[in-house]
Copies of this chain bind each other. A is one copy, B any other.
Amino acid sequence: MTKRKRFAAAACLLCAAAIPVLMTGCATARDSRAVARSSSQSASGTLDSWREGATRTAIESFVARTTDPASGDFVPEAERIAVFDNDGALWAEQPMYVQLAFIIDRVKALRAAHPEWETTEPFASLLKGDVKAVAAQGEHALGALVAATHGGMTDEEFRATVRAWLATTRHPTMGLRYDEMVYRPMVEMLAYLRAHGYRTFIVSGGGVDFVRAYASEAYGIPSDQVIGSTAKYRYEVRDGVPTVVKTGEIDFVDDGKGKPVGIASRIGMRPRIAFGNSDGDFEMLAWTTAGQGARLGVLIHHTDAAREWAYDRASHIGKLSRGLDEAPARGWVVVDMARDWKVVFRAEEPR
């Protein structure tokens, strides 16, 4: 891994932690814990949580044209690939990436078994709650935290840990479980595209096994259709039992220019549709929409300070600046969350 990539990895996960107070338009705690949590929403493939308007029409028109054999824009089913960023595009990412909240909680949970962490960086600062000091230690600190919380176990063991954490942890200001902060309109979008023969993939800057822990239940996406940043794995025979172990050593960073690379390597086909929300998705959308034939790029613009958060050009998490500048010329659709979505979270009742 190059120095540049390692830096990107560190920046990717920790920049959010550097300024935890950065919550541009943070919504206040809400009393919506008791709302319906059915995961059966929209298996029918309708966009009920999307308001009528130019955004919804543009997406529906694209899908209609590419699935109509009589259209010049028709796309054979084998080529119907749709890719989605995760953090900020399928679920919330403020005030810090959910995976970072998991890392912090895991260090606290493992504290008793690691008395040496009380006096060893970056653990000592993290345990004191000084996330800024951790971020200031750079990529080495990230590597140590990832290795300590993600390494040395099988992917199945790791995912069970993530699921147990998701089941018992609530967002600090929203009061919702993180997996309730999946965007209902996007869950509908995934089902809608699948109902039209598109296969849906996640292409996340987050760790692949973290996303795989809940992607099937939350999004209906199987583990092999989740692409993400990866740590190295190691095959070994433990007490006679063949085992694949996560090492915690970062191997591939699936962000920025890494996203088209991850897609080419894992999917082996240029997508027809790409959804993102930040400049980390710019290259994924640019490569997708530069292909021949009908292509669709969509940016989710976080404009809803009342129901979620409003942030874009100045945000340290999910910064969206170049994408907003170039979307019109590139023909990308920009979703205005406040305008285009009737509801935001999976936890909310449809209106």
Contacts and interface: CB of A to CB of B under 8 A. Distances in A.
Interface in A175-226: 199, 201, 208-209, 212, 216, 222-226
Nearest to A216: B78
Contacts of A242: 260, 283, 286-287, 290
A233 B264 contact: yes
A269 interface: yes
B241 A257 contact: no
B287 A261 contact: no
Contacts of A263: 244
Contact of A235 (B237, B267, B269, B283): B283
Nearest to A258: B235
B260 A244 contact: yes
Nearest to A215: B268
Contact of A223 (B208, B241, B267): B267
A172 B81 CA distance: 39
Contacts of A339: none
A265 interface: yes
A268 B212 contact: yes
Nearest 3 CB-CB pairings of A with B: A223-B268, A235-B257, A242-B287
